[in-house]
Each structure stands twice: as C-alpha cells, then as structure tokens.
Amino acid sequence: MSSTYAEPLDRLETCLDEIGSVNPTYRTVTEKQEAMRALAKAKARIDAELMRILAVAGDVAETTATRSPAAWLASVTRDAPGRLRADATLATALDTRWSDLQAAFRKGEVNLAQVRVIDKALTDLPHELGEDLLAKAETLLVQEAARLGPRDLAILGSRLMEYLAPESADQHEHHRLLTQEHRASAATRLSLRRRGDGSTDLHARIPDLAAAMLTTYLAAFTNPRRRHQPDQQQRPESSGAGEFANLPRERQSGIAFVALLERVLTTDLPRHGGRATSLVVTIGHHQLLADLDKAGLAGTAQTTGGQKLTAGQARRLACNTGILPIVLGGKSVVLDQGRKKRLFDDNQRIALQVRDKACTELDCTVPATYCEAHHQTPWSQDGPTNLHDGRLLCPYHHDRAHDPTWTVTYHPNGTTTFHRRQ
C-alpha cells in the first residue's frame, strides 16, 4: 500500500481513461446499470477522501497565503467558493465528531448529499443531549441511509427526538419550529426589476408557510379539471383541447400569479392616501370607444403610477374588481368614473357559475369557480352588465378576449371560440 498520493492517483487517472474509452451506446442494460452504480460509489469515495484531506489542510492555506484551504481549492479548481467553504465545515465535523458517518462515506455506503443531510440532522439536535444519544442517532441515520434518499433522511432527521427522547420531543419540535419561523421572517425579501421589454423580474424569499399558501392559490388556477359538457361539440376551428393545461408549468404558474393579483379585493387592503387602495387607469374617451378592428385606433391607457398599457388591456382590467377606470375627454376632463355599476355583482357571478359551469371557451378545462365574468359587448360600447351579455372566461382566455390580435366568436349554445386575425 502506497504511503503517498502520487502513484495511486496516477493509477486512478489510468483507470478513468480506460473507462472513458468504452462506448456506453453499445453496452447492455446490465452493464450500464453496473457501471453507473460502481461509478456513483467511486464518486462518493473520492468525495470522502477529498474532504478528509480538506479537514487537515490548514498548512496549505498558510503556505499559499490564502484565507483557507477551501479558498485555495476554489482558485485552482475554479469551483464555487461558497460550496467549498461549506464542504470544509462539513469535513471538519466528519473528522472531529461523526466518525461512523465518515467511515461509511469513505466506503461509498453513503453519498455526499446524504452526508450533508445527516450532518444537519445531528447538528440540529439539542446541545444538552448526551454523547450516547448522539452516537445512537448517528448510527440510526447511517443505517437508514442504505434505503433512504436525502429527502426521506431529512424527514427522519427532523423526528429524531421522538426516537431518542420522546418525553421532550414536543418541546424540542416547538423550539425548532420557532427558530425556523424567526429565521424565515428575518430572511423575507422581495424585489422587482423592470427588464425594459414590458416585463418585470420578481425575486423573493418568503417563509415556507407563505409559499405553501401561494402554491395552494396558484393550484386553484393551474390544476382544475372538468369533464366536457355533452352538448359541447368539438369544432375544428377551436383553439385545441387543454390548451392552457398544455402550457409549460412555469408559464401556467406565471399566468395564475397575475390572475391572483388582479383578483385581490381592494376592500381587504390598507387605506392608501386617504382612500381604499386601488389601481386607477386613465384612458381617453376616443381611445376607449375605438374599434379595434380598424388599424391605428387601438390607443393606450396609463395608470396613476405611470405604467402604460394598451386600451385592450384596460378594457380587460375593467371587467374585474380593484380597477377604477377614469375616462377622460378634452383636456383631461373626467367624463366618467367607472365603479361597481360596471361590474358583475356577487349574485350575477353565482348565476353565471351555475349556468356556464366552466370557462366557455369550447375546449377549456378551468371550472367556473376560477373564471372571470366577461362582457360580450364591451362596457365601453354601452354593453350591459347582465346575465344575457355576460359569460365566464378563465384568466388565460379572458386576456385573449381583449387581445386585438384575436377574433372572438360567441356561439348561441354558450361556447366561445378564438381565431387569430390574419
């Protein structure tokens, strides 16, 4: 057995070259399975040896005048410094505290992802827990790693106290959750950055509970399903079955998030500037009444915050609560201040839900609960707010109904279809 690294590392390079010369395309399924399993184990063992050296490489930092062994390794390997610093901390814990975990790691019985989870679970245990119970917990997690992946190991790790000290498990769990809540609250952030192309990047860090609530709300828009009604006939000119459901998941969530913002009730918001918080959209009278079929008459609108939008978008927003459309004429003289008289009231919405049962687009699968009430005849053209003129559209198709690049057709049987303008 060699006492230096040079010779075995040379042999390792030679073995890797030999493995790399084999074309996996022509190998059998069994050979591929065995190779992947063996390489994964070898990778874990290499990770273990690298971290074992990293834990005692303080002299490397001193010799090279770098801040730490991790900093030197990051500079020569071009790896992420932050990740290597975390690995160095983990390496020290393995070298000084978790001997059983390190031994299993060096044998390739656990991988790096599992090691990270087990270290966190053991570190999160109460400081007053005795060494005997800590050793018992370490042994349990290392054994369970033979059948559990990182996610399930983390769940088991969070419940270790029930196994080690059931009499104090509830108190420990309360303290752990309280610590998480305080940490999550302190880390909560949200920033918006306009891209300059009509869209805005949103970056946020929010507590898990808030994320779970948001996920539930978005699922109401993105996951609903319904059976097509027997009287709905499939038409070749329709936009296609399950069009919204076939969109990429991230785009579905984005559309749902926008729809959620548009549905926020202004009565539930804090008062702002001496009145109920609302988005005010100003639009010229001639632009509001413009026929979108005629080129050049589409026009624009503007919010009080200075955000410009198309007249079609303003018309769509005017169908929903939380929007105050201010119609201007002449030199910014207010001709009309639209309020709830232009909106479908709760009783009308319930009646529309009972009647339509779902988005009226021929093949849409979004139930009525998640749809918006739409005027067939735009209110800007004296369209009445009644059941005869109203029909339900999901947020996705409601947006399309106000998009001048699409023609909307309302059929006598209550369905709606769209065709892109030529």
Say if residue 274's pLDDT is above 70.
no
Ordered strands of the 300-303 beta sheet = 308-310, 300-303, 279-284, 323-329, 333-337
Tokens of 173: 């769990």
pLDDT at site 362: 84
Is the pLDDT at 304 greater than 90? The verdict is no
Cα separation, 393 vs 215, whole angstroms? 22
More confident of the two residues 225 and 276: 225
Confidence of residue 348 (pLDDT cuts 50, 70, 90): confident
Sign of CA dihedral 222, 226, 232, 234: positive
Residue 238, pLDDT score:
44
362-406 pLDDT, tens digit per residue, is 888 777 777 888 888 876 677 787 888 888 998 888 888 888 888
**60 and 168 within one domain:** yes
Say yes or no: 105 and 42 in one domain: yes
Q: Band of the pLDDT at 315, cuts 50, 70, 90?
A: low
Taking alpha carbons only, the member of 204, 202, 205 closest to residue 184 is 205
pTM for the predicted model, two decimal places: 0.52
Is 212 among the domain residues?
Answer: no
Same domain, 321 and 355: no
* Per-residue model confidence (pLDDT) at position 287: 55
What's the chain look like in SS3?
CCCCCHHHHHHHHHHHHHHHCCCHHHCCHHHHHHHHHHHHHHHHHHHHHHHHHHCCCHHHHHHHCCCCHHHHHHHHHCCCHHHHHHHHHHHHHHHHCCHHHHHHHHCCCCCHHHHHHHHHHHHCCCCCCCHHHHHHHHHHHHHHCCCCCHHHHHHHHHCHHHHHCHHHHHHHHHHHHHHHHHHHHHHCEEEEEECCCCCEEEEEECCHHHHHHHHHHHHHHHCCCCCCCCCCCCCCCCCCCCCCCCCCHHHHHHHHHHHHHHCCCHHHCCCECCECCCEEEEEEHHHHCCCCCCCCCCCEEEECCCCEEEHHHHHHHCCCCCEEEEEEECCCEEEEECCHHHCCCHHHHHHHHHHHCECCECCCCCEHHHCEEEECCCHHHCCCCCCCCEEEECHHHHHHHCCCCEEEEECCCCCEEEEECC
- Mean pLDDT check: name the lowest of 5-9, 20-24, 128-132: 128-132
User: What digits encode the pLDDT tens for the residues 229-260?
Assistant: 444 444 444 444 457 777 888 888 888 888 88
Together in a domain, 10 and 146:
yes
Q: What is the C-alpha separation between 402 and 74, in angstroms, rounded? A: 54
Q: Are 278 and 322 in contact (CB under 8 A)?
A: yes
Clarify whether residues 273 and 350 are in a common domain: no
In contact, 417 and 232? CB cutoff 8 Å: no
pLDDT value for 311: 61
Tell me, yes or no, whether 18 and 93 share the same domain: yes
Domain range enclosing 133: 6-181
Q: Which of 117-126, 268-277, 306-315, 365-374 has the highest mean pLDDT?
A: 117-126
In a domain, 208, yes or no: no
Looking at the fold, whether 331 and 389 belong to one and the same domain comes out as no
Exposure string (b/e) for 21-52, b if CB count within 10 Å is 16 or more?
A: eeeeeeeeeeeeeeeeeeeeeeebbebbeebb
Instruction: Confirm whether 228 is domain-assigned.
Output: no
Whether residue 137 lies inside any domain: the answer is: yes
Q: Which of 144, 183, 188 has the alpha carbon at shortest distance from 163? A: 144
Domains of the chain: total: 3
Handedness of CA 127, 129, 130, 132 (dihedral sign): negative
In a domain, 232, yes or no: no
Q: If pLDDT is split at 50, 70 and 90, which confidence band does 284 have?
A: low
68 plus 151 within the same structural domain: yes
Assess whether 301 and 391 both reside in one domain.
Answer: no
Mean pLDDT rounded to a whole number for the chain = 78
Q: Classify residue 1: in a domain, yes or no.
A: no
Statement to judge: residues 311 and 166 lie in one domain: no
Of 306, 324, 341, the domain-final residue:
341
Does residue 226 register a pLDDT over 70? Answer: no
Are 244 and 99 in a shared domain? no
**Please, are residues 285 and 329 in contact by the beta-carbon 8 Å criterion?**
yes
In a domain, 260, yes or no: yes
Residues 4, 9, 14, 18: what is their CA dihedral angle, to the nearest 10 degrees?
140
> Given phi > 0 = left and psi -120 to 50 = alpha, else beta, which region is 248?
beta
- Domain check: are 18 and 121 in the same one? yes
Give me the percent of the chain exceeding a pLDDT of 90: 37
Amino acid at site 197: D
Task: Convert the pLDDT of each residue in 166-220 to its tens digit.
Answer: 777 777 777 777 787 888 888 999 999 989 888 899 999 988 878 888 887 787 7
Q: How far is CA 343 from the centre of its chain?
A: 32
417 in Cβ contact with 362 (< 8 Å): yes
Q: How confident is the model at residue 331 (pLDDT cuts 50, 70, 90)?
A: very low
The pLDDT value recorded for residue 352 is: 83
Mean pLDDT confidence for 318-342:
46
Residue 291, pLDDT above cutoff 60:
no
Domain end (from 341, 376, 395): 341
CA–CA distance, 239 with 305 (Å, rounded to integer): 36
pLDDT tier for residue 316 given thresholds of 50, 70 and 90 = low
Among the candidates 162, 181, 200, a domain finishes at 181
| Residue 53 included in any domain | yes
Instruction: Return d(Cα 337, Cα 278) in angstroms, integer.
Output: 13
